[in-house]
Structure 1
Amino acid sequence: MARKVKGSKQYRMKVVPHRPILHGVFSVLGVALLVLSTSAGAYFAGQYQLSKNLDDKTRAHAKALDEVDRLRAEIEALRVRAATAEQSVAIGEQASESVRGELVAKENQIAELRQEISFYRGIMAPSEGSDGVSIGRFSISEAGERRYQYKLLVQQSAARHQVVTGAVRFTIVGQVDGEPRRYALADLSSQVESESIPLRFKYFQNIEGELQLPEGFVPEGVELSLKSSKRKGFNIDQRYGWLVQQS
């Protein structure tokens, strides 16, 4: 039995049972609550940052779309300008082509008029030598794929009234693979049966037809040889370059 000491303060003592398991449970719960609160804070912070990043990306995407629309509008405007420029160039080319065509037509008309003047001058004016016989005009024009039309006019001065008789030989000269080559008109035209074309006229005679050039042959010119059937008649040799008139 405890003894009391007189004059001293007495304290009540209480015996508390020792429970180590319960203390451990509370410790674990505290740690768990701390972890949960930390995780929740990190989660909400992450969600906030993610939302912010998404907003930034959304704004950047919208800005990029606006830029794409602007560039598309500029491209369309450039296409319109390019089409307008091409149309203007085409119109200019058509106008230039039309002018060139008119110039060529005028030049052909002038050439024909000059030939007509030369023809009538040759007929009306006396000619010295060759019994008054001369070549009035000669021309070659396109008639198709490697096909050409030739026209030859042989004339006599009007001061002479006798009938001219003789023959003309028509030779096309050129190259094949760099080598010289000659063809008689009869070799290139089905309308001519012999190398010599007969001449018989009083004032003039027209000789015309078509010829077909063989593949690989590059024409360079035409040689014309006119000879009278008389012993002391005309003898004319003339060479022309391969100048093709526009039809």
Structure 2
Amino acid sequence: MSLDTNFMAQVFKTAIAGVPVTLQIVLVALIVSLPIGFIFALVRIYRVKILSPLVRLYVSFVRGTPLIAQILIIYSAFPSFLATIIGKSAFSIDPINYAYIVFTLNSIATLTEVFRSALQTVDKGQLEAGLMVGMAPRQTFVRVILPQALVSALPNITNATLYLIKNSSLAFIMSVKDITAIAKTQAAFSYNFLEAYLVVWVYYLIIAYAAELLFWFLERYFSRFQRTTTAKSFNWHLFSFKQPTTTVAAVQYDPKKELVNHAHN
């Protein structure tokens, strides 16, 4: 079996029009879900009455249901619901707005747990130390606890972003003209679906690698707030499979020192 490289080159040029749409979905979902997820995490940590159980139910529901089911329900049911309020004009809404809703709701649930776990990794003694030096509780939280929590959260935020980038390929189900939709449309004429999917694979690989590189720079910037850091290259961060090792210094036995210590005792 041989690949049609000419068709792949044609799809690669055509599908680039869907890159801004994919990036737009990802950016809107992240910009909206990051602050809301952080607030929801604080609600759960401090166990705010009424709100905390509701947030927990929301997170469990979203994380416990398939994304494809959420897409089909919102894309099918939400327009009908809007039609009862604003009339038939609800069916003329740009489908990308439904993509914003689906991926934002999904990202909020994921980032809520990311921020909650990150905030709980910061030692409570950090807050006490800030109060002892005369800092206000809010000032201590913003200047001491939050930067350390961000360092802990960044790897998981990176993973959540990568999952969001990959899941955004399902936006074609909602008739959004993203990378996948354009490639599938091109392949429908000649049935070269393998070549089209390979082009889609390359595009998402490039976008995901660029996003991971960006978060690597952010992680290096925020790592200055850690007490101990070890600088590593991006290639090590991305491709290394080695586990960190601890080196224990060898202690030599000196019989003369042992005799002196015994004599003093």
TM range (shorter): under 0.3
What TM-score results when the alignment is normalised by the length of structure 2? 0.21
Larger RCO (CA under 8 A, 6+ residues apart): 2
Task: Name the one with the larger helix percent.
Answer: 2
Which structure has the bigger radius of gyration? 1
